[in-house]
Amino acid sequence: MYQRYIFTVLLSSLLLLIPILHFADVFPSNHVQLVFELAVGVTGAAVVIRLSKRTAIIEEHTQRYQSLFLHNSDAVFMMDLNGRFTSANKACEVISGYSLHEFLKLTYHQLILPEDLEQGMTYFNASLQGEKSTYQLSILSKTGVRVELSVRNVPIYVHGRLVGVYGIARDISETVNLQKERDEVQLYYQSLYRNSPDAIFAINLKGQFISFNPAAEVITGYSSSEMLGQSFLTLLKRQDGSVMEEAFRELRTGSPCSEEVKIVHKTGRDVTVQVVAVPLQIDNVLAGMIGIGKDVTAYKQSLERIEYMAYYDSLTGLPNRSRFIEATDQMIISAESKSEKVAVFFIDLDRFKGINDSLGHQAGDFFLQETAKRLRESIPGSGIISRFGGDEFTVALPVTDSQEASQIAERIRENISEPYRFLRKSYYLSPSIGISLFPENGEQTVSLIQHADTAMFYVKQQGRNHYEFYKSEYHTKLSKKLQIEQLMREALQKEEFELHYQPIVHAATQEIEGVECLLRWHSPELGPMSPSEFIPIAEESDLIAELGEWVLRKACRQAKRWQLMGLEPMRISVNLSIRQFEQADLIDKVAGILKETGLEPRWLELEITESMTMDISKAMTVLQKLKLLGVAVSVDDFGTGYSSLNYIKKLSIDRLKIDQSFIRGLPTSEEDAAIVATILTLADRLSLTVVAEGVETEQHARLLQELGCGYIQGYLISRPVPAHELERMLAKPIHKIG
């Protein structure tokens, strides 16, 4: 009887031992040893020791393994063949969140999350087939928390019959979550690698590509399969190969680097790439480099465009003023070290303004571009040419002496003076060229430019279409010009200008038909100033528009004053400058001045020069608006311009004024007489009146009367006189002269 009891106890102990042996890696080795000692000890005890001692030993070991079962940090449980829990330790409560009482009412598949249920049941069923298995699955705790488990299943046999399944489960949530985080980071970097707009690549210590992302394929045009194993040098432009080789050597020391290189795209085009490279280390051992390459081709092109805009003229493609000064500074430094000379040329196009104003800016642009081309053909490669502004150009180049500079200046003059073909017509320009030399005329670029400009201005004063070297006395003349400009600005504020009036009379009766206003200036500082001296300066400095508006207002006010004095109304004629004629608000200004002064439009005549009518469409628009306003229009200096006579019939004008250059030659020049006769005939056919200017002798007056000229103006009748003197003339009956 006692022997049967001992056998039963031993069998139970061995059954507890089975799962523990399967999880020997979980338990300390000395515990395993105890198991075997138990087996041997119990067997021996059955034969050699007393029953009571055997019972005590079995009880001790039973308690030990019950303690190991109950207090194990891993969940230990037993299931029957249907998966119902039949026993479980305290750790099952901790892991599942259920009390032992609740836990033992559950089945294995109830705990498993749906997505892992099939896998869990597959392994459970495998245990029922006698297989041991280790696997991972997820359960849902009572509180709704997902718990990741590592599970080991072992089948339980009693008397050779399968009676259940032992399970040991370890909470590996922290490990799984950490691995998930690592996987997510890995996926992030993989996504960054694959989807980055920048090229990402790796190179081994041999300089061969070992990684090549899709962006690198786009930037280079090569697929990764084409580039893997290839040297990075095969992509680089020759001049950048040594740069990257040096950078690669730097990387071997552990230092990152950044370089801008040009690579050759598969299609053959150049691509500028900004490469940032860092050492590639594996287990703290240098294995190569990782590079990130950004395609900066468009950015570089934008920078180049910005630099071009900052240093080059967009119309002609020539360097601008800033670039010219920088380049000439360097040229001077080089020349000084070699004891050489540098010539600086300042070039201004004669008559350009008139052509630009008459033909329009499209024509002006064409002439400037053509001039730039001719300058390039005239200057050796060692020189620099710039468009300095408007129709001004500058040139600088090394020369041996002033004679060489003269030869270059003459070549420039000849090339620019060749006819320009525009819209199937020929036009002529000429240059005025000023020259200064380093070091004789200055040691700085700015002073050399100023001196060349001064010499150019002297050429303008002497008749244009020539060149001159700078001389110190030219400064006096330039200073005078600047002084006049400044005094003119002050004169406008101080009302120093005044109008003189020259009568226009009927050729047969000598009756005053009207007067022309002429500007006069008596400067307190400079004395009487000739219009031929200060008007060109006003035109150059843009004062002419402001001055012209002052003249128009003053003339209208004077004409109205004479009418209020009781004098017979008559037309007052005012010259318009090209600047005024081009003003968009010209009509509004004229209308505003007439309203301000109270003068009726029919008593105002505006004189324009023939050159203003060369842009026929623009001139027609302006003149038609003036006619609608009620103002009379005359063409001054007729016969000296280049416009077609056919234009005259299209323009809304009332009168032609024959230039005095034709009148002076009447007595002796058959050509002048023929021109005057032709103009008179043309005017008669077009129902226009004609005024002959510059009539100085009785012979002039008689010949003009014989030719049928209706009105005359000139010193024979009267010089331009102040308003009070003209008033005495106007006070005579019917304004008759003489």
Does residue 713 form part of some domain?
yes
Q: What is the pLDDT of residue 693?
A: 93
Q: What is the mean pLDDT of the chain?
A: 85
Q: Which residue has the higher pLDDT, 633 or 461?
A: 633
If you average pLDDT over residues 202-208, what whole number do you get?
88
418 and 332 together in one domain: yes
Cα angle, residue 455 at apex, residues 315 and 429 outer, rounded to 5°: 45
Q: Which residue has the higher pLDDT, 733 or 517?
A: 517
Whether the per-residue pLDDT at 8 is higher than 60: the answer is no
Does residue 188 form part of some domain?
no
Q: Are 290 and 277 in contact (CB under 8 A)?
A: yes
Sorting pLDDT into bands at 50, 70 and 90, what band is 301?
Answer: confident
Whole-angstrom distance, CA of residue 349 vs CA of residue 544: 20
Q: Looking up tokens 């003189």, which residue turns up?
A: 500
Sorting pLDDT into bands at 50, 70 and 90, what band is 54?
Answer: low
Does residue 136 form part of some domain?
yes
Q: What is the pLDDT of residue 29?
A: 44
Q: Are 417 and 427 in contact (CB under 8 A)?
A: no
468 and 587 together in one domain: no
Q: At 439, is the secondary structure helix, strand, or coil?
A: coil
pLDDT in tens, 687-728: 899 999 999 999 999 999 999 999 999 999 999 999 999 998
Q: What is the pLDDT of residue 180?
A: 87
Phi, psi of 21 (to 5 degrees): -65, -35
Question: Helices 321-338 and 297-311: crossing angle, nearest 10°?
Answer: 80
- Single out the residue of 515, 634, 625, 615 nearest to residue 568, CA to CA: 515
The CA distances from residue 429 to 352, 355, 537, in Å, are 7, 9, 21
Whether the per-residue pLDDT at 352 is higher than 80: the answer is yes
403 and 490 together in one domain: no
If you average pLDDT over residues 498-521, what whole number do you get?
94
280 and 400 together in one domain: no
534 and 603 together in one domain: yes
Proportion of the chain in helix, strand, coil states, percent, rounded to 5: 50, 25, 25
Q: Which of 421, 438, 472 is the last residue of a domain?
A: 472
650 and 704 together in one domain: yes
The CA distances from residue 702 to 39, 48, 327, 667, in Å, are 160, 174, 65, 10
The CA distances from residue 313 to 139, 210, 329, 393, 398, in Å, are 76, 48, 19, 11, 23
Q: What total number of domains does the chain contain?
A: 4
For the ranges 149-153, 165-169, 538-542, the lowest mean pLDDT is seen at: 538-542
551 and 622 together in one domain: yes
pLDDT in tens, 62-83: 777 677 777 788 999 999 999 9
If you average pLDDT over residues 50-60, what whole number do you get?
69
Whole-angstrom distance, CA of residue 416 vs CA of residue 348: 11
- Express as a percent the part of the chain with pLDDT over 90: 52
Q: What is the pLDDT of residue 26?
A: 41
pLDDT in tens, 591-630: 999 999 999 999 999 998 866 665 677 778 888 999 999 9
Whether the per-residue pLDDT at 241 is higher than 70: the answer is no
pTM for this structure? 0.49
444 and 498 together in one domain: no
Does residue 738 form part of some domain?
no
If you average pLDDT over residues 4-20, what whole number do you get?
45
Q: Are 286 and 275 in contact (CB under 8 A)?
A: no
Does residue 175 form part of some domain?
no
Q: What is the pLDDT of residue 28?
A: 44
347 and 425 together in one domain: yes
Whether the per-residue pLDDT at 36 is higher than 50: the answer is no
Here the tokens at position 104 are: 């033992």
Which CATH number does the domain housing residue 370 bear?
3.30.70.270
Which CATH number does the domain housing residue 518 bear?
3.20.20.450
Whole-angstrom distance, CA of residue 176 vs CA of residue 585: 82
* 10-24, 224-238, 545-559, 662-676: range with highest mean pLDDT: 545-559
Whole-angstrom distance, CA of residue 202 vs CA of residue 282: 13
Whether the per-residue pLDDT at 477 is higher than 70: the answer is yes
A 10 A CB-CB count for 105 gives: 12
Q: Which residue has the higher pLDDT, 328 or 191?
A: 328
Q: Which of 255, 280, 300 is the last residue of a domain?
A: 300
454 and 505 together in one domain: no
The number of CA neighbours under 13 Å toward the Cβ of 545 is 12
Here the tokens at position 510 are: 């000598």
If you average pLDDT over residues 515-527, what whole number do you get?
94
Does residue 322 form part of some domain?
yes
Does residue 81 form part of some domain?
yes
Whether the per-residue pLDDT at 735 is higher than 70: the answer is no
Whole-angstrom distance, CA of residue 151 vs CA of residue 524: 114
Whether the per-residue pLDDT at 424 is higher than 80: the answer is yes
Whether the per-residue pLDDT at 267 is higher than 60: the answer is yes
If you average pLDDT over residues 465-482, what whole number do you get?
85
Whether the per-residue pLDDT at 453 is higher than 80: the answer is yes
Q: What is the pLDDT of residue 161?
A: 93
403 and 442 together in one domain: yes
431 and 506 together in one domain: no
Q: Are 165 and 128 in contact (CB under 8 A)?
A: yes
Q: What is the pLDDT of residue 349?
A: 93
If you average pLDDT over residues 544-570, what whole number do you get?
94
Does residue 336 form part of some domain?
yes
Q: What is the pLDDT of residue 584?
A: 84
Residue 117, domain extent: 2-168
Q: What is the pLDDT of residue 32?
A: 42
